[in-house]
Amino acid sequence: MKLVSFVTGLFLLFVLFNSANAIKLAPPIDGQIYFGANPGFADEDQVVAAETNGQSKIKHLDTIAGKSALWSYFSNNWISDIAYPKANIQAIIDKGKIPFVRLMPMGIPKDGVDRYSICRGKIQWGSFQLAKQSYIKNCQKLDLKSLYTTNSVEYSLTNIAHSKVIEAQLRAWADQAKAHYHQTKTPLLIDFAVEMNGWWFPWGGAHQRAADYKAAYRRIIQIFREQGVKHITWFFHADISETPYADDNKGNPFKSAIFNPVRYYPGDDYIDWLGFSLYGLNDNTSGVGRWKRFSDIANAPSQYSKGKTQFQHLASISNKPIAILEFAVTDGHMGDKGQKKAAWLVDAFNGIKSLKDANGKQRIKAISYWNESWENAEMRIDSSPAAQKMFHSLIVDPRFINQAIWH
């Protein structure tokens, strides 16, 4: 027992020492907010170097936004293995950006049946009742965890936490990241299995346990620490909505507890920033009654914290700085030529600058716009002249900065 305690003590000292001198993204000074973006990479990590109108998507984003973004956000999809995306990271660094990597345990099953895509493709998003009925019909009986099964590796949360095969792949990823950093001197930002407190991803709370999510994320970070990786800032990325895709007076096909982001948080010893997604309407075929402002969503009453808003409940998880890692709204809604989107953006930017936690503290220190055409949505900054003009006028505010502070 004494030997075990001694070895454990040495390991903890190693981890603590190894964590010292780490290079982390610090929050900007009070009143300033980092501006980052997904330039339009969707879920395919292989399109990072793609071009739009003769420009890289990364630089095209800067052009249409009217201000350079600090980071470029892209997905590192785990399909047949967990591979360090060196080329994509280098492409982002070459454009003067910080790479922000989404670790996404997607996978393709052994039997070749991509249950997740089948499920997503058959959900009808026109109303909550349609979404609920089509989910129950097409998705509820699917074993979405089998999505992860690929060759001899199953990318379930449990396996990510315990599999030796996955551990070896993660250690290789970490080693390559460390070696690449020695060449570039550019730190990385990373989140893992985003929006886990939802049902639309197979790692979400409707399909896998919150405890397994925490164990998987802790294991990933622990492995990176053991490999001596010191240049990564780790983000926790939940969805802000506690009743996603639900009409105000309707039920939900899932137990409400799965939408509580608190249940998934790995802890302050592992996470550097809190983050969340907040989308306005992202289906331009839905009715006017489905249109909600940014402030309507952020300030909706929390079902988990009495007297708090959804934003305040999420902010109560930790005192860490907060980033809106995904936000956007569709355009062309009901043929209004961008006017509703422009108004939504005004409300969103007002909220970004003014939202406070339950203690009255302004906590949002970074934003990341999702510049994408997605499903039935047109969420690009330049989706219409009215929307782009409004975005320009809002992001030009000097409070939105693109110079990182490291500590």
Contacts of 369 (CB under 8 A, 6+ apart): 35, 36, 37, 38, 65, 327, 328, 381
CA gap 89, 97 in Å, rounded: 9
CB atoms within 10 A of CB 290: 17
Predicted confidence band of residue 91 (pLDDT cuts 50, 70, 90): very high
Give the residues across from 72 on adjacent strands: 37, 99
CA gap 152, 22 in Å, rounded: 35
The CATH classification of domain 24-406, taken from the options 3.20.20.80, 3.40.50.2000, 3.30.420.10, 3.90.230.10: 3.20.20.80
Q: At what angle do helices 164-184 and 86-94 cross, to 10 degrees?
A: 30
Q: What is the pLDDT of residues 230-279, one digit of tens each?
A: 999 999 999 999 876 554 445 556 678 889 999 999 999 999 999 999 99
The pTM for the full model equals 0.87
Q: Count CA atoms closer than 13 A to 153's CA, side-chain side.
A: 22
Element (H, E) at 328: strand 322-328
Q: What is the pLDDT of residues 172-205, one digit of tens each?
A: 999 999 999 999 999 999 999 999 998 778 788 8
Q: How is the chain split into domains, by residue range? A: 24-406
CA gap 134, 163 in Å, rounded: 34
Q: At what angle do helices 210-226 and 2-19 cross, to 10 degrees?
A: 80
Helix (H, G, I), strand (E, B) or coil at 55: strand
CA gap 161, 216 in Å, rounded: 4
The encoded tokens of residue 131 equal 């979404």
Residue 361 pLDDT greater than 90, yes or no: yes
Closest CA to 177 of 227, 217, 106, 220: 227
pLDDT at position 406 is 98
Lowest-pLDDT range, 66-70, 129-133, 215-219, 391-395? 129-133
pLDDT at position 151 is 45
Closest CA to 406 of 270, 233, 273, 275: 233
pLDDT at position 288 is 53
Q: What is the pLDDT of residues 110-127, one digit of tens each?
A: 555 666 666 766 766 555
pLDDT at position 223 is 98
Q: Is 289 exposed, middle or buried (0-12, 13-18, 19+ CB in 10 A)?
A: exposed
Predicted confidence band of residue 6 (pLDDT cuts 50, 70, 90): very low
C-alpha distances out from residue 103 to 61, 98, 147, 173, Å: 22, 16, 16, 11
3-state SS string for 122-140: HCCCCCHHHHHHHHHHHCC
Average pLDDT, the chain: 84
CA angle, residues 252, 217, 366, in degrees to nearest 5? 75
Element (H, E) at 378: strand 377-378
DSSP single-letter state for residue 85 = -
In the chain, % of residues over pLDDT 90: 61
